[in-house]
Amino acid sequence: MNTLSKRPNTSVSSLIETRDVIAMKNKTGNLYESITVIAKRANQININIKEELHRRLDEFNTILGDNMEEVNENKEQIEVSRQYERLANPALQATAEFFNDEIYYRK
């Protein structure tokens, strides 16, 4: 089972909201440290998404001649790409995780 189906079905609009900078600062004691934690988590999410996308798209990299089977694979490949395009921005996901205390961090 791929991790795309394991991801929570979170719409982008539910993640986009104005964040309280004071609350962000209070979580770590330093605003810049909080932003660094969020940024590092966003990078982790982004790397995982890219690896998963490449792994799924590698399934389509078989060498075939020009035939209808290749056209169908291209449609499937396009659908896989569209699934990933609909995912929320990794920075938004990381910020939501940070405010929901789903990120473990240490000094």
SS3 sequence of 76-101: HHHHHHHHHHCCCCHHHHHHHHHHCC
Instruction: Identify whether 11 is part of a domain.
Output: no
The boundaries of the domain holding residue 72 are: 17-99
Distance between alpha carbon 83 and the CA centroid of its chain, in Å?
11
- Residue range 3-9: mean pLDDT, rounded: 52
Instruction: Identify whether 3 is part of a domain.
Output: no
Is it the case that residue 44 has pLDDT exceeding 90? Answer: yes
Q: Tell if the pTM clears 0.75, that is, is over it.
A: no
18 vs 15, 23, 80, 93, CA distance in Å? Answer: 10, 12, 31, 14
- Model confidence at 19, pLDDT cuts 50, 70, 90, reads confident
- Residue range 63-85: mean pLDDT, rounded: 68
Instruction: Identify whether 2 is part of a domain.
Output: no
Instruction: Identify whether 28 is part of a domain.
Output: yes
Of residues 49 and 4, more confidently modeled: 49
Calpha distance 15→78 (Å, rounded): 26
Is it the case that residue 39 has pLDDT exceeding 90? Answer: yes
Instruction: Identify whether 31 is part of a domain.
Output: yes
12-21, 45-54, 68-77, range with the lowest pLDDT: 68-77
Is it the case that residue 1 has pLDDT exceeding 50? Answer: no
Instruction: Identify whether 4 is part of a domain.
Output: no
**Angle, helix 21-28 to helix 31-58, in steps of 10 degrees:** 90
Answer whether 38's CB lies under 8 Å from 93's CB. no
Instruction: Identify whether 7 is part of a domain.
Output: no
Instruction: Identify whether 60 is part of a domain.
Output: yes
Number of independent structural domains in the chain: 1
